[in-house]
Amino acid sequence: MLILAIDTTGFSASIALVKDGKEVLFNKVSSGFISNKNWWDFPYLLPSLHQKFLINNLKGIIWKDIDVIAASANSGIYTCILVGFSMAKILANCHQKHLIGVDHILAHLYSTWLGRNFNDFQFPILVFSASGSHSDFSLLKSIKKCEIIYDLVPQQNKEGIKTFMGIGKVFYQIGKRLEIITPADSSVDKLIKAASQGDPYKFNFVSYYQGKLLDLNFSEFMHLIENFIQKQEKKSSRLSSKFIKDVAASFQESITEILVDKIIRLARIKKVKEIHIAGGISENKYMKKKLKEKIREKELLVILRYPIKKEYKLDNAAMIGCLAYYQQKHHIKFINFKPNITR
């Protein structure tokens, strides 16, 4: 089955051709991030950018070869979703193709399946997926059943626009507070680089987090670290480079320690055979190293998997095509899932 997949849920637009849920023939991604704009302006700016990107990249598609068209639906920025799904619906009608709507957040859960044979997977599988707009634990009980264990994400309201505070956004906000990250940056790469140069054990922020096992709300944790930085600013007119790097490193160490502990405890409770890490958080090498060490230390007999390519870890249409295939073939039942929509 050859699927033309479209994703326009947020800052990026993407189009992909996916065969049988695993083989990616192409996966093109375009960022709509504009450094001199406030992020609450993007819901109004992105739709036209996404539309132009799709039109340009639909040229050359051999429609007789396409079996299904899949598009991101539900979770994401409403104005952006509307662009991609509307275009997919028009194309489906024009070329008489079956249309499948795929939730963007659910697609992240299956991004680890791209390039792999699902017959190699051992269920149940615990999936931890997180990025700037979502943080969730899910349990893939079988090829036909996916249970969302936790997906409640705090929101911020700016200029009437609601955005979700996923774990990736917490990294971004701490980076901004330390003045490592500027409005011109669309990623947390600068924070990660600064953290690699600091002492991860200089400050222990673990006690700042009081959430329960399934709680992925790090808003209070973030605010307490911001207060810690503010107290240091009152003592000194300017934060030293060493202090900034040590806070960045200690923040990453502390939040990673908390997350890894949650993942290991959940894996034991649910008696899973595999752990999959998806979304932007799967790019974090520090967490990957720490999770591997903890699995060995606890002698946990599980297989640890990540998306096989960097492009599958971030927002992309290939994962939309992947999940569309399995939804169509196996009629997956999603339990306890509610889309996260911003307008």
Paired tokens of 221: 């944790």
Predicted local confidence at residue 238, as pLDDT: 86
For residues 176, 178, 179, 185, the Cα torsion angle rounded to the nearest 10 degrees is: -40
Question: Given this structure, which CATH class describes domain 2-114+309-342?
Answer: alpha beta
Which superfamily is assigned to 122-305 in CATH?
Answer: ATPase, nucleotide binding domain (3.30.420.40)
pLDDT digits (tens, 9 = 90+) for 193-221: 999 999 999 999 999 999 999 999 999 99
- Answer for the pair 320, 104: CB distance below 8 angstroms, yes or no: yes
**Secondary structure (3-state) at 79:** helix
d(CA 176, CA 179): 5
pLDDT for res 13: 94
- Check residue 151 and give its pLDDT: 78
The pLDDT of residue 60 is above 90: no
The predicted pLDDT at position 160 comes to 61
pLDDT digits (tens, 9 = 90+) for 106-118: 999 999 999 999 9
Listed by start position, the domains of the chain span 2-114+309-342, 122-305
Confidence of residue 338 (pLDDT cuts 50, 70, 90): confident
Q: Which two tokens stand for residue 95?
A: 């070329």
Say yes or no to pLDDT of 177 above 80: yes
How much is the average pLDDT of 119-131?
A: 96
What confidence score (pLDDT) does residue 74 get? 87
β-pair partners for 157:
162
Instruction: List the one residue out of 15, 24, 8 whose CA is nearest residue 113.
Output: 24
How far is the C-alpha of 293 from the C-alpha of 93, rounded, in Å?
51
Which of 10-14, 48-52, 154-158 is the least confident region? 154-158
Q: How far apart are CA 273 and CA 276, in angstroms?
A: 10
Place of tokens 């790097």: 245
Region of residue 242 (phi > 0: left; psi between -120 and 50: alpha; otherwise: beta): alpha
Evaluate the omega torsion of the peptide bond into residue 183 and state whether it is cis, within 30 degrees of 0: no
pLDDT, tens digit, 9 for 90 and up, residues 246-267: 999 999 999 999 999 999 999 9
pLDDT of residue 34: 67
Which pair of structure tokens corresponds to residue 178?
């330390």
Is it the case that residue 289 has pLDDT exceeding 90? yes
* Mean per-residue pLDDT over the chain, rounded: 92
Strand 76-77 to 341-342 pairing: parallel
What is the model's pLDDT at position 39?
Answer: 59
**Matching fold, domains 2-114+309-342 and 122-305:** yes
Q: What is the pLDDT of residues 72-98, one digit of tens each?
A: 998 888 889 999 999 999 999 999 999
> What is the predicted pLDDT for the residue at 343?
56
